[in-house]
Amino acid sequence: MKQLIPHQVKKGEVGRLLVSCVDQPGITMGISRFLNEQGANLSNSEQYVVGDHFFLRVEFRFDDLSENIEELRKEFARIAEPFEMEWRMIPASRKHRMAIFVSKADHCLEDLLWRWRNKELDAEITMVVSNHLDLKPLVEPYGIPYYHIPVTKETREEAARKQAELLQAEKIDTIVLARYMQIIPNWMVKEYKNRMINIHHSFLPAFEGAKPYHRAYDRGVKLVGATAHYVTSELDKGPIIEQDVQRISHLDTVRDIVRIGKDTERLVLARAVRWHLNDRVWVTGNKTIVFSGT
Which amino acids are annotated catalytic? 236
Measured from the CB atom, is 163 or 243 closer to a second copy? 243
Is residue 198 classed as helix, strand or coil in its secondary structure? strand
Q: How far does Cα 51 stand from its chain's mean position?
A: 24
CB of 229 vs a second copy, minimal distance in Å: 9
Residues 57-76 that bind a second copy (CB under 8 A): none
Measured distance CA(272)–CA(249) in Å, rounded: 27
Closest approach of a second copy to the CB of residue 179, in Å: 13
The contacts of residue 236 (CB under 8 Å, 6+ apart) are: 198, 200, 204, 205, 208, 209, 227, 229
Using CB under 8 A as the binding rule, whether residue 252 contacts a second copy is answered as yes
What's phi and psi for 203, nearest 5 deg?
-85, 90
Binders in 258-287 for a second copy, by CB under 8 A: 259, 263, 267, 285-287
Residue 215: CB minimum distance to a second copy, A: 8
Residues 73-92 that bind a second copy (CB under 8 A): 81-84
Please report the sign of the dihedral spanned by the C-alpha atoms of residue 188, residue 189, residue 192, residue 195.
positive
* Using rule CB under 8 A, residue 122 touches a second copy: no
**Range in contact with a second copy (rule: CB under 8 A) among 65-73, 106-114, 151-159, 184-192:** 106-114
For residues 36 and 30, give the distance between their C-alpha atoms in angstroms, rounded to a whole number: 10
What are the phi and psi torsion angles at 47 (to 5°)?
Answer: -140, 140
Kindly indicate which of the ranges 66-74, 155-163, 173-181, 216-224 contains the residues binding a second copy, using the contact rule CB under 8 A. Answer: 216-224
Q: Considering the rule CB under 8 A, would residue 223 count as an interface residue with a second copy? A: yes
